[in-house]
A = this chain, B = another copy of it.
Amino acid sequence: MSRATVSNAYNRPDQLSAQLREEVLRAAKNLGYPGPNPTARSLATSRTGAIAFLLDSSLSAAFSDPALSVTLDALAKAVDPAGHALLLLPGTEAQGGPPAERVLAAQADIAVAYSLADGTPALEPVHDRGLPLVVIDQPLLPETARVGCDDRGGAALAARHLLELGHRRFGVLSAPRLSSAGPSGLESARASSFRGTRERLAGYLETLAEAGVTDVAVSEAPWLSADNAAASAASLLRGSPRPTALLCMSDQLALAAVAAARQLGLHVPEDVSVVGFDDIPQAAWADPPLTTVRQDLAGKGRIAGELVLHLLDGGAPPPPVQLPVSLIRRDSTAPV
């Protein structure tokens, strides 16, 4: 019996009679042959069946934000029918992405970059290897597919909402920038290597400035952990004059801000209004339910998945997709 026949028995049943195929599979079972070796198959077909997912930080930091879980799950479901597995490459916080050599050695057909820092060394090997690339919430690169949301517009929505409620004293709770060295605050956030951080900050500040509010306290939560975030929020709330409204770059941060406020004996929204960003599931059933900027996280993941499939199919990168955002008014904001 030739190898080719066995191979066909597994991969192309139409190439041999049903009877012989049965016989082959039965013999395989008897011999304890578990089916084609995935690595050898990959080498022969030059397809690994895996998608490399590049993260900006450690797994626990990355997954502490439910926004990632939701997005990644939607992505996984979108590519699932094609049978792809997900190869997770955690980042190092110093580089805002995985180390280059890990990317170089990753067995994957395509890379998906999720909110990596600009200039992270992780993307060069992707290019060198000729891997297709889909970026989520990052600047567009040549030859790359992209999906993201209107970060700046969303931030503007949040700021405008609070202005309309009469607030004039604001604090901004910022996502981490790249390096933990140096002072925290406005300049630091503005110079963040993360596009999302920069854009949201710009959205807040521009809108506030248009309304004549220019003196805004900015605090940055170093790498996402609940404790860090609450501490940063507390530092904003202890400022004087105390802000009456907090603009938070994610719901995760907003939730921490609410907790911090409570700790300080402040009531939300009576004493301080809090608005988040993302509209993660938890935002709706938090106490109080969070006013936030909604983006379609599941849609973002699904579209990223479709882009993956499209690129794997040899398609050219389509124009970048920008998802809309909208303000969801719940109970964490009130007139000043």
Count of interface residues, chain A, beta-carbon cutoff 8 Å: 54
The answer to whether A230 has its CB under 8 Å from any CB of chain B is: yes
Q: Do A259 and B230 touch across chains, with their CB atoms under 8 A apart? A: no
- Chain B residues near A64 (CB, 8 Å)? 66, 69
Interface string of A79-90 (1 = CB under 8 A from B): 000010111111
Decide yes or no: A88 and B90 within 8 Å by CB, A39-B39, A40-B43 being known contacts: no
The answer to whether A161 has its CB under 8 Å from any CB of chain B is: no
Report the separation of the CA atoms of residues A180 and B225 in the bound assembly, to the nearest whole angstrom: 34
Q: Do A107 and B48 touch across chains, with their CB atoms under 8 A apart? A: yes
Which of B74, B88, B285 contacts A85 (CB under 8 A)? Answer: B88
Interface string of A110-145 (1 = CB under 8 A from B): 000000000000000100111000000000000000
Interface string of A270-296 (1 = CB under 8 A from B): 000000000001100101000000000
7 A-B residue pairs with Cβ-Cβ distance under 8 Å, sorted by A, are: A39-B43, A48-B107, A58-B76, A83-B102, A107-B107, A226-B282, A226-B285
Q: Do B73 and A60 touch across chains, with their CB atoms under 8 A apart? A: yes
CB-CB nearest in chain B for A262? B287
The answer to whether A166 has its CB under 8 Å from any CB of chain B is: no
The answer to whether A34 has its CB under 8 Å from any CB of chain B is: yes
The answer to whether A70 has its CB under 8 Å from any CB of chain B is: yes
